[in-house]
Amino acid sequence: MRTSKQGRAFISGHEGNPLTAYLDPVGVPTIGHGFTMRSAAVKRELAKIGITKLVPGKTKITAAQSDAIFAAVLASAEFEGAVNARMPKNRVVKQHMFDAMSSATWNLGAGFMGWRWIEPWRDMGDVAASAAIWASSYNTAAGRKLAGLVRRRKEEARLFAEGRYTGVKEGTPRVEQEEAPRAPDPVTKEAQEILTKLGIPVEVDGWYGPRTKAAILAYQKMHPHLVNDGVLGPATLAQLRRDVAAAKDAVSKGIPGVGGIGALSWVAGLPWGWIALAAGVAVAGYFAWRYRDVIQRRWNKLRGKTVEV
């Protein structure tokens, strides 16, 4: 089986199609329809156009190249091949079910086809039970539950069970709307909440109006990897999430880590002050390296510097 046109649109609606490389929420360089160098098929296709490394803010591809790579990689043994090879042979597989599995495999890897969600369907033919597990699981990255993954898993599970190709489509760029929508857009609202935490004032109402566009543009102009277009796309949303993750990591991992190492050193009879200082330097160095893009953005803000990507 192959992913249908609707299925490919469903995947692309979640992934988006940024043509300039960016960092995903956990710091993995990404481009196009969710391409990363973690995939052998992606590496092979990018090499055909002379790209051997994804450099955020610098590596660029065209829309035609992105679509061609998407088609080739999706059809590879890593993705559609894995779904075909691992889906139950004793069950009827409808097109929408295959499309849902292709979407999850594209996002999570071929291992998805062997995870716990598949057992009720494979063993008892219970589609609803499998969809329930799918909808409530596999929504974390680097140990964090991400709103986008929570939505995606629910929408994939609904597609699998009910054949509904609908959803929030997080990857679809949010552009300025003249009038407020009937219902708040959850992606826009999440971005607005993060912007306010970062000290960029904007009303949290789920409307991508002129004020939110101006706030997003101001954020983009301070960041070394983002295209300054005033559009809330996957790259900008991922970077906003990285900013939040950096703050949480600094509190949850950085300070306790220094204190813990210092306490252990004291128990061991070592000079606590020196060890704690060394640990502090190590932790600071780690965060400075891991979140160097976040630090650069804040430094640009302090200096009032605008970055063109």
- When comparing pLDDT for 146 and 61, which is higher? 61
The stretch 150-165 carries a mean pLDDT of: 97
Sign of CA dihedral 138, 143, 149, 151: positive
Q: Give yes or no for residue 247 having a pLDDT over 60.
A: yes
Q: What is the mean pLDDT of the chain?
A: 88
10 Å Cβ neighbour count for 15? 23
Q: Give yes or no for residue 56 having a pLDDT over 90.
A: yes
What's the pLDDT tens digit per position in 227-237?
A: 999 999 999 99
What residue segments make up the domains of the chain, in order of their start? 5-162, 186-303
What's the pLDDT tens digit per position in 38-48?
A: 999 999 999 99
Q: Which fold has domain 5-162?
A: Lysozyme (1.10.530)
Place of tokens 């692309």: 12
Q: Give yes or no for residue 188 having a pLDDT over 90.
A: yes
Q: Give yes or no for residue 274 having a pLDDT over 50.
A: no
- Helical (H) or strand (E) element with 70: helix 63-74
Point out the least confidently predicted range of 11-25, 219-233, 277-291. Answer: 277-291
Q: Give yes or no for residue 280 having a pLDDT over 70.
A: no
Q: Give yes or no for residue 245 having a pLDDT over 60.
A: yes
On whether the CB atoms of residues 223 and 293 are closer than 8 A, the answer is yes
Point out the least confidently predicted range of 86-90, 115-119, 243-247, 260-264. Answer: 260-264
Name all contacts of 31-38 with Cβ < 8 Å and 24+ positions apart.
31/59, 31/61, 31/66, 32/61, 32/65, 32/66, 32/69, 32/70, 33/66, 33/67, 33/69, 33/70, 34/106, 34/107, 35/66, 35/69, 35/70, 35/73
On whether the CB atoms of residues 78 and 110 are closer than 8 A, the answer is yes
How high is the pLDDT of residue 268?
46
How high is the pLDDT of residue 259?
52
Tell me how far apart the alpha carbons of residues 54 and 6 are, in angstroms, rounded to a whole number. Answer: 29
Instruction: Read off the pLDDT band of 265 (50, 70, 90).
Output: very low
Both tokens of residue 161? 């069970």
Instruction: Read off the pLDDT band of 262 (50, 70, 90).
Output: low
User: What does the H/E/C string look like for 201-240?
Assistant: CCCCCCCCCHHHHHHHHHHHHCCCCCCCCCCECHHHHHHH
Which of 72, 82, 131, 75 lies closest to 108 in space, CA to CA? 82
- In the chain, the percentage of residues whose pLDDT exceeds 90 is 72
Q: What's the whole-model pTM score?
A: 0.84
How high is the pLDDT of residue 266?
44
The stretch 217-223 carries a mean pLDDT of: 93
